[in-house]
Structure 1
Amino acid sequence: MKSQEIRNQFLEFFKSKKHSIVPSAPMVIKDDPTLMFTNAGMNQFKEFFLGNGIPKSNRITDTQKCLRVSGKHNDLEEVGMDTYHHTMFEMLGNWSFGDYFKKEAIQWAWELLTEVYGIDKDMLYVSVFEGAKDEDLGMDQEAYDLWTAIVPEDRIIMGNKKDNFWEMGDQGPCGPCSEIHVDIRSDEEKAKIPGRDLVNMDHPQVVEIWNLVFMQYNRKADGSLEKLPAQHVDTGMGFERLCMVLQGVKSNYDTDVFTPLIREIETITNSTYDKNSLPTNDDGKVSVAIRVIADHVRAVSFSIADGQLPSNTGAGYVIRRILRRAIRYGFTFLDTKEPFIYKLVETLSKQMSKAFPELKAQKNLITNVIKEEEQSFLRTLDQGLVLLENVIKNTKGNIISGEKAFELYDTFGFPIDLTALILSEQGYELDEKAFEVELQKQKDRSRAASQVTAGDWKILLDDTTTENFIGYDHLKTNVKVTRYRKVNSKKDGELYQLVFDKTPFYPEGGGQVGDKGYLEVPNGDVVYIIDTKKENNLIIHFTKNLPKHIDETLTAVVDEKQRSRSASNHTATHLMHQALRTILGTHVEQKGSMVHSGNLRFDFSHFAKMTTEELKEVEHFVNARIREQLPLEEQRNISYDQAIAEGAIALFGEKYGDTVRSIRFGESMELCGGTHVKNTSSIWHFKIVSESAIAAGIRRIEAITGDAAKEFFTTQSEAYGEVKAVLKTKDPLKTIISLQEENSSLKKQIEALLKDKAKNLKGDLKSEFEDVNGVKFLAKKVDLDAAGIKDLSFELGGELENVVMLFGSDQKGKALLSCYISKNLVEEKQLNAGQMVRELGKYIQGGGGGQPFFATAGGKNPAGIEEALENAKQYLK
């Protein structure tokens, strides 16, 4: 069976069992602060397990794009080394929300695997939770009894809490699970060792294929368990592993999920993939590299399609790290010194866009982003090789400092395994323990900065599971607190999170920041709400203290001025999106936005820097819509299909529900959950502040509206007036041009005078050289800038042989040291100007470097110049 058929059969099987087929959620998560990426099929259904929402259907099936490269589920370093770990993978799943439970889940799983897919029953083993005394949990007898009715007892394995008790996280829904494992070894291998002895032992041909999780409990903050009010089923089957079994191969990479990519890599890099080679051999390393690249290009491509570009922070850093790992493997083991991974996007799109149309729609963007990232990192690798060479030259002995290796890794992005490989090839050894110490320090700093601990929710009222946001129509209302909890974080300290029965506060989302405001308490107190976010379908209000009368009716008041400014900026992003598509072309798509009360940021796809004229046209277009006083036309709770049919623009990477909200201002119509002005005239004016590139084919515009625009023009007007006053002119532009021309002329005169000064100085200095250890030596403080000293050094060096010169200079309160050494001395006496200025630079509280024959150092202590010059002779001796 082809992979496409395998996927379809799974979905159709559960459709026949009255499950609704739903699309995969985006792999990049935007509204759950506990996760960067979807790492399991259940992520998009968390709100239903937590009881914070009601699903449209109690039975659901899907295939979910997942990524596991950070946190608890981190398979990155294993990818490529074996045949079954991946970064990005598909998770086939079926779900029951308070409907069927263990009996149906077990029976249907067995029916699908053995009757529909036709897997030999003798290849399968199942596991059951054995219980845990420390949790006072007994064995899952119900699951055991159900399995014994289906399979022989010797096919059932008792599993511990680690393997057979699944948890969402440190807190939340959890429960026992039954895993189904498959043994695809040959009969000869099976005769030597029974399959049951290899279950959960990381054997490449005895692998878990399906996990049936039975959600029965809730894990509280204190670690205790309580029974859930309703029981749920959450299953996940690895699509790639299933394809391996059904296609009769021994590796996920030998299935048609990966073979088209592997063939293309072989063709582009002129390499050969050997599926039987070992990673320890040279040919095995080539095959590992091919597996790494085939896996990683999928993860990166799907992430970009879902709206996450490579960057230096957060989720973007994870994607950049995956891509750089692929580039590095190609660079080291496939000898690829030019970008090539971007060429694989075409193959991937053809192969998977039927199931995931976003790949085809975003193909050009994905290709351009990957290509630019490749070009950038290959330059980094070249720079890193030079830096590593310098580290080696300046190391005494054959052990390279772990701190230096970490600096290369942390500051320049140079991979540590590549550092170790190069060192071993040159007979050096890396101090890996010191490197690990530095790496752990960095992880500890990062973990401490982001660590958040949350207590259990204190439930005051039964939560409503319907939408409780009324902020489109009201900025003030009476509320009741339904639940609250205390949270602690390194960043914000101790805070409280409150949930109301209804709220006028907009939670952060769709690029718009959350509302701020306050609560009026019956006794006259005021409790300030400092932020509002949405988590697992709950709108959460952050406060620094709890209301004293928390169980009484409170009045929630949104900061009207901040909301108005945010709404103004949000509407401006819609109008600007329309302007960009009109002026630049319909290829423009929104790729991200951030709407604050003070300003707005808008990222969009475009292939070139915008011209000044284009930016002016965008401003004129938006301001024309503002002057037209366009009213807000809003449709709430309409179907997604209806909104799209009416012309609304939807954004890639966003998760839309069955019903959506459309926002129209004139010809601009988009799906949006944010807040907006009632009429475009409220925006007052739109002004672009900057336009820049943030990635290949992605531009960013920052702009302001309303009060911020008024302040901008006021400040600009005042500054212009001050310039005219200082220049004492009515035409400052003409005066500035004249001053620039005059300044340029004076600079040329000064340069000529300095050159003459250096020539005169050169004659005087020739008589000041002295013999030190057989070389002509001169250390002198001169009144020249860096360029003048360099000219002087090279002119003297060209006329004299066997010279070592050190010049010092005080330039506007900053110290400068320059060292020149004749090239024959560099070779014969192993003298090095870079080492010399680095050593003497400590006297001027600075540092520097350069080439062995000429180097400079800068410092902040001009008083130390004389001491540096005095110690130069001693250094030479």
Structure 2
Amino acid sequence: MKSQEIRKQFLEFFQSKGHLIVPSAPIVLKDDPTLMFNNSGMAQFKEYFLGNGTPKSKRIADTQKCLRVSGKHNDLEEVGIDTYHHTMFEMLGNWSFGDYFKKEAIHWAWELLTEVYKIDKDILYVTVFEGSEEENVPFDQEAFDIWKTLISEDRILLGNKKDNFWEMGDQGPCGPCSEIHVDIRSGEEKAKVSGRDLVNNDHPHVVEIWNNVFMEFNRKADGSLEKLPARHVDTGMGFERLCMVLQGVQSNYDTDVFSPLIEKIEKITRAKYTIKAKDDEEEKINIAIRVIADHVRAVAFAIADGQLPSNTGAGYVIRRILRRAIRYGFTFLNTKEPFIYQLAEVLADQMGGSFPEIRLQQHLVQNVIREEEASFLRTLDQGLQLLENVISDTKEKTVSGQKAFELYDTFGFPIDLTALILRERNYELDEDGFDKAMFEQKTRSRAASEVSTDDWTILVPGNTETFVGYDLLVNEVKITRYRSIDSKKDGRLYQIVFDHTPFYPEGGGQVGDKGTLLNENETIEIIDTKKENNLIMHLTKQLPTVVNAAFIAKVDKRLRQDSASNHSATHLMHLALRSILGTHVEQKGSLVNPNYLRFDFSHFAKVTDEQLKQVEDFVNARIQEQLPLEERRNIPFQQAVDEGAMALFGEKYGDSVRAIKFGNSVELCGGIHVKNTADIWHFKIISEGAVAAGIRRIEAITSDAVKQYYNNQEKALAEIKLVLKNPQDSIKAVVSLQDENAKLKKQLEVLLKDKARNLKGELASQLEEINGVQFLATQVDLNAEGAKDLAYELGNLGKNLFLVLATAENDKPMLTVYISKELAAAKNLNASQIVRELGKHIQGGGGGQPFFATAGGKDILGIPQALEAAAGFINK
């Protein structure tokens, strides 16, 4: 059975059981501060389990794109080494929100596996929770009794808290679970060891495929459990593992989920993937191919959902995954040029039917991956040179763990590649020193980000919160719940929830509102507003003295107006870019705050100055037209799209949405906007540049920020005029100054060339012969270009010259090494390596070619030592 059919049958089965089929949420979570990525099928339904929202149906099923590479669920290091862990995977799931419970969940799971998919009952085992005295949770007798009606008792195993009690996190809904495991070993292997003994023991052919979680409890901050008001079912089945079972193979990578990718990798790299490796070399190639096939899925889907590789947060995780794939190709498949990007086409063909975003975003995915590959391959090349320096500085045969960590941390050079190269060179790595440096860094990072959260104190039960901020800036409110949080970074803060709030929570690129909470007795500053699990939380540094009193919530009007101005201008600019550059332009990220707006968009060339001017003119024309805001709230998503509203890839939209319209600009947006484009006053682009392959970024300002910008420009112009002694025509004066400077530069170049030629004779007489080499190391009063000219002039005198020239223009030391090509070959001398060694004396470094290289530095006082050390290379 093909994977597409397996997925289709799952969804159709649960649809027949009254489940609403919903699409996968984006793999990247943009508005959940507790998670970077969707790491399980239930992540998009958290608010329903917590009782902070009402699901569109009490029964839901889907297939969810998941990513597990950070936090509690982290399988990255196992990926590729074994055949059943993955970074990105699909989680097939069915949910009950206060509807059916254990009996239905278990019976339907068994029916689907054994009657629809026709899996042999004799290869299945199940587990139930054995209970925990520590948690005061009893043995799951109910699940055990249900299973006894379906499977023989010797195939029902008891599981401990680690294996059979599932928790969302340190706090929140949780409960016992019942897993279904499959044993696909051969009959011969089964005869030797019972499958019972291999369940939950990391055997590649005895694996869990389905977990049925019975949400009954809430984990409180003190670790205790309390009963939930309603019982839920949360199930997850690993799609890739299910395909392995149904397609009769021994590895997820042998299924048609991965085989097209593996075949493409084989074709590109000419490496051969073998189902059963005969030796270590074959297994290394197998692992590399598995890593690449797995990782490209994670990276491609993340990019398609709007997350670009970067140096921070979720972007760093994606970059790390891709670099791991590149490194495996570089080391074990001997790939020195970008190639992983070519796999995006295979993914689009293979999965575009179920996940249309991967097909629609294919070209963006390819361009981003290709640029990242090229960049990291250059980093690997640089890292190899730096590692050579480290090795040459090592007196013993053990390389410092701290040095290896610096290569890893500063340059992204993988530690396993460092260890591999050292072994090949008969060096050892101080692994303890590396682990210590890594631990210290993680400890610093963890300390900086560590947050502990207390339980909610609930004053008004139920989900009573309403956002009124589209219409009001000031509103009477009551506190419905609050809790304290302790952060190493910010200290103790409080999260407060109101019954009706005018404060907009951070989301959709717009920052959260600030303002005050006040009554006749006190005023409390609200420093930020965020949304988590469908709750709008107002952050303060103190609690009100009387929390159940009546308050006035007041949004900072000036900050709100500036944010609204920038947000509305963002919509107008999006339309302008699509009108001027083409409809391929799509938003790929944004930031809207009171000070400026930032907008990332897909485009594969620099936006010219003329095009930027056209964008500015387009937006300002819409401002001058005084277009009124046309807003439609709570309209069906599909209706809004059919009527022309633009929906963005990677955003999670509900069934009902809000559409914002200014003239021809129509977008789905939950943010705050001006009532009329005239309120924006004026729009000015400050900068444009690249942030990734195929992604450009524009930063712009509006309203008062534009006024301040022009005031600063006027002030700067006045200062320039003063420096130029108040000419009548400032532009003409600057052009004249530039012309004069250009003429003087040319005259200086001629003088320096003359000076170099004059020095040639003087320095030729200072050459001394050492071991058959014409040698000279001296400091000259020239700039770097002059030193280069002089070196080549002296180089014409013979074929055995070794020359080192030092210069100190503007107190910046520079070393120039020239070696006759014939001498370099005969004496095994390399100017690039030599200049790096000499550069250490001036606290610098450099490189070049074997016969000519330069190095810059910081310490001018080190020049004498560098010149003195030069002779040592010949004396050796």
TM-score (ref. length: structure 2)? 0.94
Shift of 1:283: 2.1
Which residue in 2 is equivalent to 1:553? 550
Confirm or deny that 1:677 pairs with 2:703: no
Distance 1:854 1:9, change over 3 A: closer
Amino acid at match of 1:328: R
Shift of 1:434: 2.5
Other structure's SS at 1:591 match: strand
Contact kept, 8 Å, 2:27 with 2:66, in 1: the verdict is yes
Which residue in 1 is equivalent to 2:158? 158
Report the Cα distance in structure 2 between the residues aligned to 1:764 and 1:698, rounded to whole angstroms. 56
Confirm or deny that 1:478 pairs with 2:476: yes
Which residue in 2 is equivalent to 1:686? 683
Confirm or deny that 1:421 pairs with 2:382: no
Contact kept, 8 Å, 2:775 with 2:801, in 1: the verdict is yes
Amino acid at match of 1:449: A
Confirm or deny that 1:618 pairs with 2:615: yes
Report the Cα distance in structure 1 between the residues aligned to 2:510 and 2:195, rounded to whole angstroms. 54
Distance 1:195 1:499, change over 3 A: same
Amino acid at match of 1:128: V
Matches within 5 A, 1:41-52: 41-52=41-52
Distance 1:813 1:681, change over 3 A: same
Matches within 5 A, 1:499-538: 499-523=497-521, 525-538=522-535
Other structure's SS at 2:363 match: helix
Other structure's SS at 2:686 match: strand
Which residue in 2 is equivalent to 1:440? 439
Which residue in 1 is equivalent to 2:112? 112
Shift of 1:129: 1.0
Which residue in 2 is equivalent to 1:464? 463
Shift of 1:526: 1.8
Confirm or deny that 1:695 pairs with 2:692: yes
Matches within 5 A, 1:842-853: none
The answer to which of 399-408 and 657-666 deviates more is 399-408
Shift of 1:452: 1.6
Which residue in 1 is equivalent to 2:321? 322
Report the Cα distance in structure 2 between the residues aligned to 1:119 and 1:849, rounded to whole angstroms. 63
Which residue in 2 is equivalent to 1:25? 25
Shift of 1:517: 0.8
Confirm or deny that 1:271 pairs with 2:265: no
Partner residue of 2:587 out of 577, 587, 590 = 590
Distance 1:819 1:695, change over 3 A: closer
Report the Cα distance in structure 2 between the residues aligned to 1:336 and 1:252, rounded to whole angstroms. 25
Which residue in 1 is equivalent to 2:359? 360
Amino acid at match of 1:266: E
Other structure's SS at 1:133 match: coil
Distance 1:359 1:823, change over 3 A: closer
Which residue in 2 is equivalent to 1:605? 602
Which residue in 2 is equivalent to 1:431? 430
Shift of 1:493: 2.3
Which residue in 1 is equivalent to 2:346? 347
Shift of 1:567: 0.4
Amino acid at match of 2:722: A
Q: How far does the alpha carbon of each residue in 1:203-223 deviate from its partner, in whole angstroms, 9 at most, with x for none?
A: 111100110111111111121
Report the Cα distance in structure 1 between the residues aligned to 2:256 and 2:849, rounded to whole angstroms. 53
Report the Cα distance in structure 1 between the residues aligned to 2:730 and 2:434, rounded to whole angstroms. 57
Distance 1:737 1:249, change over 3 A: same
Amino acid at match of 1:472: Y
Other structure's SS at 1:244 match: helix
Shift of 1:491: 2.4
Amino acid at match of 2:328: Y
Shift of 1:828: 8.0
For structure 2, the 5+ residue unaligned runs are none
Contact kept, 8 Å, 1:519 with 1:557, in 2: the verdict is yes
Q: How far does the alpha carbon of each residue in 1:742-801 deviate from its partner, in whole angstroms, 9 at most, with x for none?
A: 212211211222233333344444555678899777665543223333444454465478
Q: How far does the alpha carbon of each residue in 1:526-582 deviate from its partner, in whole angstroms, 9 at most, with x for none?
A: 211111111110111111122222221111111100100100110011111111111
Partner residue of 1:632 out of 604, 629, 634 = 629
Which residue in 2 is equivalent to 1:730? 728
Which residue in 2 is equivalent to 1:96? 96
Shift of 1:831: 7.6
Report the Cα distance in structure 1 between the residues aligned to 2:255 and 2:829, rounded to whole angstroms. 59
Distance 1:817 1:259, change over 3 A: closer
Other structure's SS at 2:375 match: helix
Distance 1:332 1:646, change over 3 A: same
Which residue in 1 is equivalent to 2:744? 746
Which residue in 1 is equivalent to 2:222? 222
Q: How far does the alpha carbon of each residue in 1:170-197 deviate from its partner, in whole angstroms, 9 at most, with x for none?
A: 1111111111101111222111111110
The answer to which of 309-318 and 681-690 deviates more is 309-318
Report the Cα distance in structure 2 between the residues aligned to 1:400 and 1:650, rounded to whole angstroms. 53
Contact kept, 8 Å, 2:799 with 2:823, in 1: the verdict is no
Which residue in 2 is equivalent to 1:300? 299
The answer to which of 453-462 and 815-824 deviates more is 815-824
Distance 1:246 1:851, change over 3 A: closer
The answer to which of 657-666 and 255-264 deviates more is 255-264
Distance 1:424 1:578, change over 3 A: same
Report the Cα distance in structure 1 between the residues aligned to 2:542 and 2:681, rounded to whole angstroms. 37
Contact kept, 8 Å, 2:51 with 2:463, in 1: the verdict is no
Report the Cα distance in structure 2 between the residues aligned to 1:776 and 1:588, rounded to whole angstroms. 62
Report the Cα distance in structure 2 between the residues aligned to 1:816 and 1:374, rounded to whole angstroms. 33
For structure 1, the 5+ residue unaligned runs are none
Which residue in 2 is equivalent to 1:211? 211
Contact kept, 8 Å, 1:521 with 1:527, in 2: the verdict is no
Distance 1:577 1:44, change over 3 A: same
Q: How far does the alpha carbon of each residue in 1:807-839 deviate from its partner, in whole angstroms, 9 at most, with x for none?
A: 554433444455667778878888887787777
Confirm or deny that 1:126 pairs with 2:126: yes
Distance 1:559 1:151, change over 3 A: same
Report the Cα distance in structure 2 between the residues aligned to 1:338 and 1:424, rounded to whole angstroms. 25
Distance 1:757 1:263, change over 3 A: closer
Which residue in 2 is equivalent to 1:564? 561
TM-score (ref. length: structure 1)? 0.94
Amino acid at match of 2:578: R
Shift of 1:706: 0.5
Distance 1:497 1:428, change over 3 A: same
Instruction: Provide the identity percentage.
Output: 70
Shift of 1:477: 0.9
Shift of 1:51: 1.3
Shift of 1:464: 2.4
Distance 1:788 1:101, change over 3 A: same
Q: How far does the alpha carbon of each residue in 1:461-514 deviate from its partner, in whole angstroms, 9 at most, with x for none?
A: 22425x511100000111111111221223222211111111111001011011
Report the Cα distance in structure 2 between the residues aligned to 1:732 and 1:52, rounded to whole angstroms. 64
Distance 1:693 1:832, change over 3 A: closer
Amino acid at match of 2:561: S
> What is the aligned residue count?
874
Other structure's SS at 2:658 match: strand
Other structure's SS at 1:316 match: helix
Other structure's SS at 1:472 match: coil
Amino acid at match of 2:589: G
Shift of 1:344: 2.0
Report the Cα distance in structure 2 between the residues aligned to 1:364 and 1:682, rounded to whole angstroms. 38
Which residue in 1 is equivalent to 2:252? 252
Q: How far does the alpha carbon of each residue in 1:318-362 deviate from its partner, in whole angstroms, 9 at most, with x for none?
A: 112222222222233333333222222222212211211112221
Which residue in 1 is equivalent to 2:539? 542
Report the Cα distance in structure 2 between the residues aligned to 1:333 and 1:668, rounded to whole angstroms. 51
Q: How far does the alpha carbon of each residue in 1:689-713 deviate from its partner, in whole angstroms, 9 at most, with x for none?
A: 1111112221111111111111111
Contact kept, 8 Å, 2:587 with 2:602, in 1: the verdict is yes
Other structure's SS at 2:645 match: coil
Report the Cα distance in structure 1 between the residues aligned to 2:659 and 2:294, rounded to whole angstroms. 38
The answer to which of 217-226 and 827-836 deviates more is 827-836
Contact kept, 8 Å, 1:521 with 1:547, in 2: the verdict is no
Report the Cα distance in structure 2 between the residues aligned to 1:499 and 1:439, rounded to whole angstroms. 40
Report the Cα distance in structure 1 between the residues aligned to 2:542 and 2:563, rounded to whole angstroms. 26
Matches within 5 A, 1:328-407: 328-407=327-406
Distance 1:334 1:820, change over 3 A: closer
Matches within 5 A, 1:165-180: 165-180=165-180
For the aligned residue pairs, the C-alpha RMSD in angstroms reads: 2.6
Report the Cα distance in structure 1 between the residues aligned to 2:872 and 2:4, rounded to whole angstroms. 76
Shift of 1:156: 1.0
Partner residue of 2:809 out of 808, 811, 828 = 811
Shift of 1:396: 3.6
